[in-house]
A and B are shown apart, each in its own frame.
Chain A
Amino acid sequence: MTAEATMPAGRTTAPLVASVDGLKVYFQTKAGLVRAVDGVSFDILDGEILGLVGETGCGKSVTARSFLRLIPTPPGVYAGGRIDFWSREAREHVAPPVDLLKISPADLLTIRGNRIAMIFQDPGKALNPAMPIGDQVAEVFYQHRSQELLDVWEGRAPRIMRRAASQRTRTIERLALRFPPLRSQARRLRRRVDELVAGALAETQIPNPRKIMSSYPHELSGGMKQRVMIAQALACNPDLLIADEPTTALDVTIQARIVELIRELQERHQTAVLYITHDLSLVRRVADRIAVMYAGRIAEMGDTDDVFYEPQHPYTRGLLAAVPSFAHKRGELSAIEGTVPELIDPAAACRFNTRCAHATDLCRSVDPALIARPGHRTVACHAYASPEMLGVAADRLPHVDGGPL
C-alpha cells in the first residue's frame, strides 16, 4: 500500500509552487538498499513556509536535496515519484509544471539557484574559503542575471561583454578585457555587478556591505556568513527557498535574528519556503504548516498550531512530550523508547510500530496510508482509519488516547 497524496478539498486557495508525489530515494550500500525516503508526498503553496521536521536520519534532508537533484547518484537512486514545480511564469500562464526529477541537466541549471535556491546548514562549509564574499555572490548574477547586467548598454552590448556577463569568456578574451579599449567597458560591468551584490547583501541587513564584499568567509562570524548565504540564495528572487537547518550551527540569540530575517524576507518577496529542522520549538515559530517525518515517511501534516496543540500521530505526540518545557517535572520527561528502525528492506508495516505504545498486530502487518482529517490535516496512523476502508474488524485498529476524533 502506498501513501497517496490526499490533499483535502478547499486547500487550493493559494496556487501550488511544488508538489512532491510519492518520492522515493534509495541508497545502494554494501548492507543493502537503504530506503531513506520511501513514498513521501506533500505540497508547497505559494507564499507559505512549510516546516519539515524530523529526527536524524528520517530523510528530511534527502527530500530537500532531491528538489535540486543534489543527491549523488550512485550511491543514490531516484527510485520513483515526481517533484512537480511551477515557476512564477508557469503559474501566471497556467502552464504545466516541470518534473524536477526528469528534466535535463541543462534545464536544471536554469532552475538551481535561480528559481529554487537553497541555504545550507553550515555556512562555514558552504562558502568558498578562497574567494571574497563579493565574488561568490556575484557568481549568482553572472550565472542567472547576465541580461540584467547588460542594462547599462541598453541592448547594444558587444558580444564580448555579453560573454563576460555570463562568465563565458575565453582566456584570450579575459586578457583583452584588461587592456584598453575594452577595459573601461569591463569596469562598467564590474561596477554594475558590485551594485547588485551590495544591494543583495544590504537586504539581509549586513552592515557596511561594500566592506564585507572584499572580505573572506573566515573574517566573518557565523551569523554573518549565514546572512551572506541568504543574500546569495535570494539574489535571484526565487520561487522556492529551501532552508536546510539554516540555524543549527548558530547560537540561540543569533538564531533568533536569522529566523526573523528569513520570515521578513519571505513576507516581502512572497517566496515559498521549505524549512527543514529538527528543532520543534523553532519550527513552531517559523512555519505556517508543518510535516513531521519519521523513517522516510510523512507521519503527520497540518497547520502548525493544530499539530502542536493537538498532535494526532503517536510519534508526534511522543516527540512533543519529549521536549523539556516548564510543564515537566525532573525525571518525568516522557521518552520514546527504542531507536529508529533500520531502513534496509523495511517490512510492510507502520514504521513506528516498534516504538509505539498503541501498536496492534494490524500496525505490524499493514502499512498505514496518509489519511485526510478535518482541519486540513493528514495522519498516517491506523487509529484514524475506517475499518471498512482497510477491510478489517474494528477491534483490530489501535486506539490512541484522545482520538480518533
Chain B
Amino acid sequence: MTTLRDDTPPVGRRVEAEPVITLRAVQKYFPVREGVFQQIVGNVQAVDGVSFDVPRGQTVGLVGESGCGKTTLGRCIAGLTDTTGGGVYFRLSDRDRRFLDEFDGTPAERRTSEQRAQAAAIDAAHRIDRLKGDAWRVYRRNCQFVFQDAFSSLNPRQLVKDIVGRPLRVHREASGADLIGRVVALLESVGLGRQHLYRYPHQFSGGQRQRISIARALALDPEFIVLDEPTSALDVSVQSQILNLLHELQQERGLTYLFITHDLGVVRLMSDKIVVMYLGEVVEQAGADELFASPRHPYTEALLAANPDLLERGEEAEMRGLEGTVPDPARPPHGCRFHTRCPVATPRCGWEVDDAVAWLLDNTTVLNEMSGVERTSDFEATLRFGGDEASAEARSLLDGEAPRPMRSALVELGVHGPELRIRFDPIERVRLDDVGEGHLTSCILHTGCAEGG
C-alpha cells in the first residue's frame, strides 16, 4: 500500500500540532441574480472571512445553526466548491504560515516585490485552488468527505464493492482480486464484512450506510476527512456506534477531522478545538473544554443554553432560546452580525437603519403609513410618512419603546413635518481577538472597542 503521508506525530491534545489545513480569510459568495438579463443584484455571503487552522491528528468541531455557512465552508475546504476569496492551504509549514500572516497584515502598497513573489510561490504550492496535476491529486486523495445524508450520497445502482472500490480505481491503486481484498479490508475496518460486498445501498440501514460512506472515505488512506453532520440523520443508539468508530479510526490511522455539526453534545465529545459560526463568520474559537467552561460570545452562550446537557439538573437544565430570526445573509447586519438577536447588545454593536425599520415593522403598525425611504447610507436615512402625526408617532416609538441599545445608538432622530430622519454612528465589522490561551472571540464586550466605534 502506498502512502503519501509523512510520519504522523502522536495524537496529543492541547499541543498545537502543525496544521494540515490552514484557512485564511476564506470567502464564498453566491451571486443573487434577478431580471431578464440575470444581472447580479447582490451576494449571499455564505462564508465571509473565515480563518482557522486544523492541526494534524486532531478534530476541529465546526458548530452553528442551519444557514450559517458551515457546510459551505466544509465544501470549500474539500475543494467541492470554489472560493470567491481568501485561501485554503494544505500542509503549510509553520514558517510559510507566519510569513502569510505577516504578508496579509501589511497594507498592499507596502509589500515588496520579493514578498509578493514568495506569497505567490506559497499559493502555487499549497493553496488548493492553485494546485495542479499531481499536487492536486495528492490533495484529493488526502482530503475526503463524508456527507450528511447517507441515503443520497451512495449511488443506488452500484454495489457496495463498486462504491467503496471507486476511489481505488480512480487513483489506479488496485484492480481485480486485489481490489476486492482491499475493499473487504476497508469494510472490516468499519464493522462490515465480506458478506456485504454484493449488496445495494438500499439493503442497508442508515447506520450501515454511513459506515459504507466512511469506508469509501478511508479507501485512499487520507490524512484529513471532512465529516459533514455524519450522525444527524441517525438515531442516538446508532449515532454512538458511529462516533465510537470514528474515534477508533482516528486513533489507528492518525486521521485529522473537521467535524461539522449542530449538535453541541456530539461536538464536545469529539473535538479538541471548536469553531462557532454565525451568519458566515466565526464568532468564537477555543479548545473544547475551554469553550464549554467559559463561553465568551453571547451567541455561544445562547447555543449552550438552548441545548443543556442531558444529565444537568436544576436551573442549569432549563432550556433558553433566542428571540428573532437569523438575518438575511445577502444583507448581513453591520458591526457584530449577532447584534439583532443578542440579549446583551450594546449601542456600539453596529445598529443601523435596517434594524430600526425591522423593529417598527415587527412591533408596530406605523409603517403602514410610510410612503418612502431615502437612504443616504446604511446608517442614515429619511423615512417619509403620509402625515405629520405618523412621523411623530414613529419618532416617539423609536425614542420610547425601541430596545435600549438601539435607542442609545441613535445619534439623530428628528421630525421635519412628515419626514423622520434617523442616523446612527457607522461601525466597522468586528474582528476575532485573542482573549487568552488561544480563545478567540469577536464579541466587543471581551475584545474592547470595535474599530471606528
Cβ of B248: which chain A residues have Cβ within 8 Å of it? 331
Q: Once the chains bind, are B268 and A326 in contact (CB under 8 Å)?
A: yes
Chain A proximity of B299: nearest CB distance (Å):
9
Q: Which chain A residues in 105-147 approach chain B with CB under 8 Å?
A: none
Cβ of A323: which chain B residues have Cβ within 8 Å of it? 236, 240, 265, 310
Q: Once the chains bind, are B236 and A322 in contact (CB under 8 Å)?
A: yes
Cβ of B269: which chain A residues have Cβ within 8 Å of it? 324, 328, 330, 333
Q: Which residue of B lies closest to A223 (CB)?
A: B325
Chain B proximity of A257: nearest CB distance (Å):
3
Chain A binder among B121-129, B152-160, B213-221, B357-365: B357-365
> B200 at interface (Cβ–Cβ under 8 A)?
no
Q: Once the chains bind, are B310 and A325 in contact (CB under 8 Å)?
A: yes
Chain B binder among A17-25, A71-79, A162-170, A278-286: A278-286
Cβ of A260: which chain B residues have Cβ within 8 Å of it? 319-321
Max chain B Cβ within 10 angstroms of own Cβ: one of A211, A253, A259: A253
> B235 at interface (Cβ–Cβ under 8 A)?
yes
> A157 at interface (Cβ–Cβ under 8 A)?
no
> A56 at interface (Cβ–Cβ under 8 A)?
yes
Cβ of B433: which chain A residues have Cβ within 8 Å of it? none
Q: Which residue of B lies closest to A337 (CB)?
A: B241
Q: Once the chains bind, are A326 and B240 in contact (CB under 8 Å)?
A: no
Q: Once the chains bind, are A252 and B307 in contact (CB under 8 Å)?
A: yes
- Measured CA separation A325–B240 after assembly (Å): 11
Q: Once the chains bind, are B306 and A331 in contact (CB under 8 Å)?
A: no
Of B65, B237, B238, the residue contacting A252 (CB under 8 A) is B65
Q: How many residues of chain A have a CB within 8 Å of chain B?
A: 46
- Measured CA separation A30–B248 after assembly (Å): 40
Q: Once the chains bind, are B251 and A331 in contact (CB under 8 Å)?
A: yes
- Measured CA separation A252–B307 after assembly (Å): 7
- Measured CA separation A55–B326 after assembly (Å): 30
- Measured CA separation A210–B361 after assembly (Å): 11
Q: Which residue of B lies closest to A263 (CB)?
A: B319
Contact string against A for B residues 292-326, beta-carbon threshold 8 Å, 1 for contact and 0 otherwise:
10000000001101111111000001111111011
Of B236, B265, B302, B322, the residue contacting A55 (CB under 8 A) is B236
Contact string against A for B residues 37-67, beta-carbon threshold 8 Å, 1 for contact and 0 otherwise:
0000000000000000000000000000110
Max chain B Cβ within 10 angstroms of own Cβ: one of A56, A322, A332: A322
Max chain A Cβ within 10 angstroms of own Cβ: one of B208, B262, B268: B268
Q: How many residues of chain B have a CB within 8 Å of chain A?
A: 50
Cβ of B208: which chain A residues have Cβ within 8 Å of it? 339
Chain A proximity of B375: nearest CB distance (Å):
22
Cβ of A336: which chain B residues have Cβ within 8 Å of it? 237, 240-241
> B266 at interface (Cβ–Cβ under 8 A)?
yes
Q: Which chain B residues in 203-226 approach chain A with CB under 8 Å?
A: 205-208
Q: Once the chains bind, are A326 and B292 in contact (CB under 8 Å)?
A: yes
Cβ of A278: which chain B residues have Cβ within 8 Å of it? 235-236
Q: B residues within 8 Å of A by Cβ?
A: 65-66, 205-208, 235-241, 243-244, 247-248, 251, 262-266, 268-270, 292, 302-303, 305-311, 317-323, 325-326, 361-365
Jot down 29 A-B pairs with beta carbons below 8 A, ordered by A. Answer: A55-B236, A207-B362, A207-B363, A208-B362, A208-B363, A211-B361, A221-B325, A252-B65, A252-B262, A252-B264, A252-B306, A253-B321, A256-B306, A256-B307, A256-B322, A257-B321, A260-B320, A278-B236, A281-B308, A281-B309, A282-B319, A322-B236, A322-B237, A323-B240, A323-B265, A330-B247, A331-B248, A339-B207, A339-B238
7 nearest interchain CB pairs?
Answer: A256-B321, A257-B321, A331-B247, A322-B240, A55-B235, A336-B237, A253-B322
Q: A residues within 8 Å of B by Cβ?
A: 55-56, 207-208, 210-211, 221, 223-224, 251-260, 278, 280-282, 284-285, 308, 318-320, 322-328, 330-337, 339-340
